[in-house]
Amino acid sequence: MDKIAAFIETTGGLSALLSYQRTYVPELKRDTVRYSVFSIIGQAFRGQQDWKPVWREPTPKPSYDVVIVGGGGHGLATAYYLAKNHDLTNVAVVEKSYLGSGNVGRNTTIIRSNYLLPGNTPFYEHSLKLWEGLEQDINYNAMISQRGVLNLYHSDSQRDAYARRGNAMLLNGVDADLLDRDAVRSLYPFLDFDSARFPIHGGLLQKRGGSVRHDAVAWGYARAADSRGVDLIQNCEVSGIRVVDGQAIGVETSKGFIGAKKIGLAAAGNSSRVAAMAGLKLPIESHVLQAFVSEGVKPLIPGVITFGAGHFYISQSNKGGLVFGGGLDGYNSYAQRGNLPIVEDVAEEAMALMPMVGRLRLVRSWGGVMDMSMDGSPIIDRTPIEGLYLNAGWCYGGFKATPASGWCFAHTIARDEPHALNAAFRLDRFRTGHLIDEKGAGAQPNLH
């Protein structure tokens, strides 16, 4: 016994154990009551009937310090970080449907921080770092899996562009590996390397990228925010924003008026509609993006692969289905479904990349409504209306940004000024010319 104690002392194990207790035990204690070996065994004999809801369903109070419009990933993360980082717990999240009913449950679950431009790279890297600690932070299994994201290149010029991107990432402290053809072949031998039209020359690999169980992110943030006192109000659609003398004072909802000292809009997909309630016109168009899942198969694709000659990305879910998607349908849309030409296009790209998927059956396809901004980058900023804050324009890169988006938006709301990480995501950057056009496509949202 003495030997063990001495061992712990010499290795510093005891102090580590103590600091672990200080950090995590309050959270663990709560959940031990909820989920333990005994509760699982006990429930087995009671027909699983006695599980308690993991968050409350409160009726809205007459007013809050902060009201977040939109109960998706970004809105819930914002509420969580308001409570955790800024001690603001008199907060409500209002959601027109159920929590996580929008794009947080519709994306292809990829996380990465392989961005090129200065305003973007540090922000997305911060997001990836938050992902890396998220499960411990909110004590929720979000199945974060850093299985690597590989962007393929198919020509010498594309190799140069990826080398530049990789170098920009390294300069920002992000990991990046430029792989040649043989290195890609050792990772993914099944790709069509000798395709006549788009031969694979290599790829840019970010090993720390990967995938996350997307719904669990919404649920985890929801539970963590709720346990810190945030009111999550579902089936509560905002129909108006009350502004008096240039100051936002609350929202009209299907459950009545809710007063607020500050209002944060996190309703990507519908940002233009919500902002219009306060008289704002945004540099955003709504477009539909489709995603697809195949029947489940045995482990096949260990990481995430993107096709460099088109717009196509594929990975395998933990259930075995291949999850993949392509580009936008291209026209403005608020319908959460797309049309067949993109289905055909995506299938063609899949075949060009890895012909072995040709016999797989498609199980489902669906669509989400994207806030397509005019330069392909998001907006996290104050607005010309006092007390009204905007989180919008995520195009189709919003999922990976969820933690940092909430983190920065909470900072912007609480401190009334942007954090250095989101300082470039200004609403007025289109007026001043400080665009962040990662793709260089110009003011044509459907091309970003």
Binding site for another protein (CB under 8 A): 270, 272-273, 281-286, 330-335, 339, 341, 374, 430-431, 443-446
> 77 or 267: whose CB is closer to another protein?
267
The 10 Å CB-count burial string (b at 16+, else e) for 34-43 is: eeeeeeeeee
Residue with Cβ nearer another protein (182 or 344): 344
Which DSSP category does 59 fall into? P
Residue 125 vs residues 130, 393, 394: alpha-carbon distances, Å: 9, 19, 16
How many whole angstroms separate alpha carbon 146 and alpha carbon 206?
Answer: 9
CB of 264 to another protein, least distance (A): 20
Q: How far is the CB of 279 from another protein (least distance, A)?
A: 13
Residue 405: CB minimum distance to another protein, A: 21
In the bound state with another protein, the residue whose beta carbon lies nearer, of 168 and 374, is 374
How far is 320 from 299, CA to CA, in rounded Å?
7
What token pair was written down for 299? 């482990």
Cα separation, 94 vs 20, in Å, equals 35
CA distance linking residue 172 with residue 269, whole number of Å: 30
**One-letter amino acid of 62:** P
Cα–Cα distance measured from residue 87 to residue 98, given in angstroms and rounded to the nearest whole number: 26
> Which tokens is 249 given?
């004072």
Cβ 444 to another protein, closest distance in Å?
Answer: 7
Q: How far apart, in whole angstroms, are the C-alpha atoms of residue 404 and residue 381?
A: 14
- Is residue 182 within 8 Å of residue 226, measured between CB atoms? no
CA–CA separation, 213 vs 316, rounded Å?
Answer: 12
Place of tokens 């990432």: 169
CB-wise, 193 or 366, nearer to another protein? 366
Q: Are 271 and 284 in contact (CB under 8 A)?
A: yes
Nearer to another protein, 6 or 276 (CB): 276
In whole angstroms, how close is the CB of 339 to another protein at the nearest point? 5
DSSP-assigned states of every residue in 354-416:
-GGGGGPPEEEEEEEEEEEESSS--EEEE-SSBTEEEEE--TT-TTTTHHHHHHHHHHHHHHS
223 vs 382 by CB, closer to another protein: 382
Nearer to another protein, 206 or 286 (CB): 286
Interatomic CA distance for residues 196 and 192, integer angstroms: 9
- DSSP label of 422: G
Q: What is d(CA 221, CA 217) in angstroms, rounded to the nearest whole number? A: 6
Tell me whether residue 264 or residue 283 sits nearer to another protein (CB atom).
Answer: 283
Element (H, E) at 151: strand 149-153
CB of 79 to another protein, least distance (A): 25
Q: Residue 281 or 298: which CB sits closer to another protein?
A: 281
**Minimum CB separation from another protein for residue 94, in Å?**
18
Q: Which is nearer to another protein, 268 or 410 (CB)?
A: 268
> Least distance in Å: CB of 95 to another protein?
17
Q: CB of residue 371 vs another protein: minimum separation in angstroms?
A: 9
What gap in Å lies between CA 431 and CA 418, rounded to an integer? 18
Q: Are 345 and 326 a contacting pair, CB within 8 Å?
A: yes
- Closest contact distance (angstroms) between CB of 284 and another protein is 6
Task: Kindly tell me which of 93 and 427 has the beta carbon lying closer to another protein.
Answer: 427
Least Å from the CB of residue 209 to another protein: 31
Is the distance from CB of 291 to CB of 362 less than 8 angstroms?
Answer: no
